[in-house]
Amino acid sequence: MNEEFPMRINKYLAKNGVASRREVDDLISKKKITINGKVAELGQKVEVDDTVEVIGKIKVKSYLAYYKGRGVITHSPGENEIDIAGRLKKDYGITDMSPVGRLDKDSEGLIILSNDGRITGPLLDPEANHEKEYDVLVDKKVSGMFMRAMENGVDIEGYRTKAAKATRSPKNDKRFTIILTEGKKHQIRRMCAALGYQIETLKRVRVTNIELDKLKPNQFRKIQGLELTAFLQAIGVSM
């Protein structure tokens, strides 16, 4: 017998791509899941040869690549501030998609939006080493010492950042790209400040295999096909 079984019903259906664990628990509460013909209970476990069925329709999972502009809040806006959800509702009538992760108010670029709660934990897991790439413009010429420090790790208030990959722009001596596999709060800004530099613009251009590409602020595109397959495989979530 598979060593994973018996398995909690919410984990079983999440692993099989039906819904997130929280969504499964909600379906169970609404008596929409059966195990071997009997209504499932919260916390119930299934064996490898059990028959699990979902009654009714499951919402279609959607994934978007969205360009968050500068000045837009990712989550929980204050008075007179606008967040991504508010902008999506106002401009596109979209109400069921949520940002996965954050991008600070003064930064811009790629945010992944989805109604699939399964991807949040795996994508944001600090131990998963998912790549995030940024294009950065600072206030003065970047030196070789600066670039080496950004790559090898910078001490920011007692924490040393993980090794990264940084590349100077061939066209602008104040611009560089950096690929991180972690996401401490305001990390790149704090790294630059620790080395005596101030950021003028900061744009996220890639998350794992999803690229910002030609999107402009407040534009989005669907993540689908082979791009979606590769993305979900990268973060360990089934289709």
Reference 195, options 162, 223, 137, 153; nearest CA is 153
At 46-69, the pLDDT tens digits run: 999 999 999 987 788 899 999 999
Q: Is residue 169 part of a domain?
A: yes
Whether 214 and 203 map to the same domain: the answer is no
At 57-112, the pLDDT tens digits run: 778 889 999 999 999 999 888 888 999 999 999 999 999 899 999 999 999 999 99
Whether 162 and 188 map to the same domain: the answer is yes
Q: What is the spatial distance between Cα 110 and Cα 2, in angstroms, rounded to a whole number?
A: 40
Task: Kindly report the CATH number assigned to the domain that includes residue 201.
Answer: 3.30.70.1560
Distance separating the N- and C-terminal Cα atoms of the chain = 25
pLDDT in the model for residue 97: 93
Contact status, residue 228 vs residue 119, Cβ threshold 8 Å = no
Q: Is residue 2 part of a domain?
A: no
Whether 113 and 136 map to the same domain: the answer is no
Q: How many structural domains does the chain have?
A: 3
Contact status, residue 43 vs residue 8, Cβ threshold 8 Å = yes
Supply 128's token pair. Answer: 């998963």
Supply 170's token pair. Answer: 């061939």
Which residue segment(s) compose the domain that 31 sits in? 7-54
Whether 216 and 108 map to the same domain: the answer is yes
Task: Kindly report the CATH number assigned to the domain that includes residue 49.
Answer: 3.10.290.10
Q: Is residue 167 part of a domain?
A: yes
Q: Is 104 assigned a catalytic role? A: yes
Mean pLDDT throughout 129-141? 97
pTM assigned to the model: 0.82
Whether 156 and 105 map to the same domain: the answer is no
φ, ψ for residue 189 (rounded to 5)?
Answer: -60, -45
Whether 67 and 118 map to the same domain: the answer is yes
Mean pLDDT throughout 217-225? 96
Q: Is residue 1 part of a domain?
A: no
Tell me how many degrees the CA angle 103-104-107 measures, rounded to the nearest 5.
85
SS3 156: strand
Q: Which of 26, 83, 104, 125 is catalytic?
A: 104
pLDDT in the model for residue 1: 40
**If you count DSSP H runs as helices and E runs as strands, how many of each does the chain have, helices first?**
7, 16
